[in-house]
């Protein structure tokens, strides 16, 4: 059974202290840092881009799990790779040719992820499951932290886990949005092995990040 990994989303961090916040996450035992990149076009919010990621990467030695909620995405993949992304996750709806975007990420030596919004079906990506390193299942509509978990997406997690086991694929199953200490257990039991969390990690237990990461990991 793969160890459950925790990827805290810095969308809920103090953006005026991002370097220190990332250091705190690393010291608190985060397995990677979930960086939510938003362009105000693919999603109705705008966060950070390659220059900020580049300077943050200098202060961190753990993987940057970069979630690109931008469209068009293909022409920017190299910028995020150069900035220091280790995992680059794209949304199928944001690229004209998902296969070429996946291949581009892998050619750059990075791990390739694809993300499914709550209303998007597995059929959108089923022809690529043998090529990717990660499927990111959105359990909220992308754009903001602090939203309510949508349990109906767990069916997709279960289906992806079944396909993975049957076809001996190797992709990680990451779930992202509204994850807390209760639904994280449902997500892991459904087959997720990477949990993204912003609000629960930064805000629960008086902001005790270490405790919150440990609680999420223990299920």
Spatial separation of the C-alpha atoms in residues 49 and 39, rounded to whole Å:
9
Query: Which residue, chain included where needed, has tokens 């049957």?
Result: 166
Q: Is 197 in the site for ligand DX5 (CB under 6 A)?
A: yes
Asked if 190 and 161 touch (Cβ cutoff 8 Å), the reply is yes
Binding residue for ligand DX5 (CB under 6 A) from 5, 9, 47, 193? 9
Spatial separation of the C-alpha atoms in residues 177 and 50, rounded to whole Å:
23
Binding mask 49-68 for Zn ion (x = CB under 5 A): ------------------x-
Binding residue for ligand DX5 (CB under 6 A) from 6, 11, 154, 190? 11
Binding mask 17-46 for ligand DX5 (x = CB under 6 A): -----------------x-x----------
Asked if 164 and 132 touch (Cβ cutoff 8 Å), the reply is no
29 vs 146 by CB, closer to ligand DX5: 146
Sign of the C-alpha dihedral computed for residues 16, 201, 141 and 157 taken in this order: positive
Binding mask 70-109 for Zn ion (x = CB under 5 A): ----------------------------------------
* Active-site residue flag, 176: yes
Q: Strand 63-69 and strand 32-38: pairing?
A: parallel
Exposure string of 43-75, with b = 16+ CB inside 10 Å and e = fewer, is beeebbbbebbeebbeebeebbbbbbbbbebbe
Q: Is 67 in the site for ligand DX5 (CB under 6 A)?
A: yes
Residues that bind ligand DX5 (CB under 6 A): 9, 11-12, 34, 36, 67, 140, 142-143, 145-147, 176-179, 196-200
Residues that bind Zn ion (CB under 5 A): 36, 67, 176
């Amino acid at each position: 059974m793969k160890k459950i990994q925790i990827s805290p989303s810095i969308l809920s961090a103090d953006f005026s202290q991002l370097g220190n916040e990332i250091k705190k996450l690393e010291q608190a035992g985060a397995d990677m840092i979930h960086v939510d990149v938003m362009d105000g076009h693919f999603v109705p919010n705008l966060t950070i881009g390659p220059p900020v990621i580049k300077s943050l990467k200098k202060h961190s030695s753990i993987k940057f799990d970069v979630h690109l909620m931008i469209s068009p995405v293909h022409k920017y993949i190299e910028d995020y790779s150069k900035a220091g992304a280790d995992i680059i996750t794209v949304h199928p709806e944001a690229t004209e040719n998902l296969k070429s975007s996946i291949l581009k990420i892998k050619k750059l030596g990075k791990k390739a992820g694809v993300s499914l919004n709550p209303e998007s079906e597995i059929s959108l990506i089923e022809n690529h499951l043998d090529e990717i390193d990660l499927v990111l299942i959105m359990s909220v509509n992308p754009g903001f932290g602090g939203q309510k978990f949508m349990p109906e997406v767990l069916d997709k997690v279960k289906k992806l886990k079944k396909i993975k086991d049957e076809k001996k694929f190797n992709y990680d199953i990451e779930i992202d949005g509204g994850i807390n200490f209760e639904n994280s257990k449902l997500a892991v039991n459904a087959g997720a092995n990477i949990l993204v969390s912003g609000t629960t990690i930064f805000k629960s237990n008086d902001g005790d990040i270490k405790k919150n990461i440990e609680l999420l990991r223990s299920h």
